[in-house]
Structure 1
């Protein structure tokens, strides 16, 4: 039997269809962008004017022309922590560590990236925080920095940073000064002084409390003395006789008592000789 060869004929237009499918897959893979929760995106137009500042894309699935690029950044509130060496008002070097909460303006994300670049935290936020911290800390003594001025310092840094970043499309929400590190000798001196001040306040409190108690006792004694004087002035001989007679009658009415009264005692009061 002669060998029979089977000839496979490729359908007309099949190659063109395969090419279209491959190109479609490449187009979708290059063009599909998913923006996650808390993120925003702006388009870099490679053959246009660069960053498109008019539109910020929100969360979800987006199709972008393959020759363009979607730049995705976080637009929810974020935080950065930093530690820096600054000088106090008297020239002493202190180390301040803190945390800043910030977020970019969603609608102006394109303008922010176009003017400050994708790494806008390093280009814009860090210099503003450092300048504000040095300016504010330089107004206070180490003792104020260490103890009682934390809230005021935080608010002043926030105000200065907000002023510097005004119209820069980046919003600072909060500043927290977490720690102020002083040289050991200065820190020990401040802690000793604060302890002595606390002990002094406690001593003054005890003195004030004792003084109030003495005044209370004095007022109480004066009140009792006045009451006794009023009572003594009101007790005449006649009133005393009446009170004595009333007491004697009550005693005589008792079932468990026998009272014998003979004559009268001094001032006319009955004399009780015996009872059971």
Structure 2
């Protein structure tokens, strides 16, 4: 056999017995059908291709999209698209391959999710899944899944309910209720505004009344007599011809030019 042929065969054998485990991956070695319990971390790994297989699993965050019906407390069915964000803990990879295989999403994650959704969503009314209660439902589903998946080597990062589709009749009822609440708030605003205007008028009237009371209390008989004397004094110095009739209390002036 020529040297070139030997070198080529050696290169092929070397390349076929080496694999690269990249970032976000973990390797599991299976030799003679047995799983090695030590996971293979990032880097180049050599192995005997005739007796050994390197199985690679992702350890980065995975997004599993599911569309399924959610049962509600009142017995209705709410359709929803759900995202399950999870990741595999690398040190559990050999156990996962040994006990679940590479199709672990369908074997364990999806069934656990369906069970958790049925348990949690049935505790809430359908309208709650379309309001601020959604985040509470998502968090509860995640926590219930974690109780069953953490010991298997999976970390559930988030459960996100998307595209909530309520039954048609319930959607109309919620819209009518929201519209009625808006009308009620609008009417309450008008009533509050009218009450404030009425209160303003009362305060204004009380101010006028108090001012008149102060003026009336200040008009004493002595002050009125003093003002009368002042008026007589001004009339007496006026150059105009006039006739003054008085009782001594108040002057009555008659224009002398009237014929």
TM over 0.5: yes
Superposed displacement of residue 174, structure 1: 0.8
**Do residues 149 (structure 1) and 115 (structure 2) align?**
no
**Do residues 29 (structure 1) and 15 (structure 2) align?**
yes
Deviations 1:88-141 (Å, cap 9, x if unpaired)? 112222212211111111222222222221111111110111111111111122
Question: Per the alignment, do residues 48 and 134 of structure 1 end up closer, same or farther by CA in structure 2, a change over 3 Å counting?
Answer: closer
Question: Per the alignment, do residues 183 and 237 of structure 1 end up closer, same or farther by CA in structure 2, a change over 3 Å counting?
Answer: same
Q: Counting strand residues as a fraction of each chain, which structure ranks higher?
A: 2
Alignment of 1:45-64 (within 5 A): 46-47=31-32, 49-50=34-35, 52-58=36-42, 60-64=43-47
Aligned partner of 2:186 among 196, 202, 213: 202
Most deviating of 180-189 and 213-222: 213-222
Alpha-carbon separation, structure 2, partners of 1:21 and 1:57? 30
Alpha-carbon separation, structure 1, partners of 2:148 and 2:48? 37
RMSD over aligned Cα atoms: 3.2
The aligned counterpart of 1:265 is: 231
Gaps of 5+ in 2: 240-259
Question: Per the alignment, do residues 273 and 72 of structure 1 end up closer, same or farther by CA in structure 2, a change over 3 Å counting?
Answer: farther
The aligned counterpart of 1:134 is: 118
The aligned counterpart of 2:26 is: 40
Alignment of 1:1-276 (within 5 A): 15=1, 17=3, 20-44=6-30, 46-47=31-32, 49-50=34-35, 52-58=36-42, 60-66=43-49, 67-223=51-207, 225-227=209-211, 229-230=213-214, 233=217, 264-266=230-232
Alpha-carbon separation, structure 1, partners of 2:117 and 2:202? 57
In the superposition, the TM-score normalised over structure 1's length comes to 0.72
Alpha-carbon separation, structure 1, partners of 2:89 and 2:183? 51
The question of whether the paired residues in 2 share the 8 Å contact of 1:92 and 1:142 is answered with: yes
Alpha-carbon separation, structure 1, partners of 2:75 and 2:115? 17
Most deviating of 97-106 and 180-189: 180-189
Alpha-carbon separation, structure 2, partners of 1:48 and 1:65? 13
Superposed displacement of residue 143, structure 1: 2.2
What SS does structure 2 have at the residue aligned with 1:80?
strand
The aligned counterpart of 1:258 is: none
Alpha-carbon separation, structure 2, partners of 1:272 and 1:149? 90
The question of whether the paired residues in 2 share the 8 Å contact of 1:42 and 1:57 is answered with: no
Superposed displacement of residue 216, structure 1: 3.9
The question of whether the paired residues in 2 share the 8 Å contact of 1:56 and 1:108 is answered with: no
What SS does structure 2 have at the residue aligned with 1:165?
helix
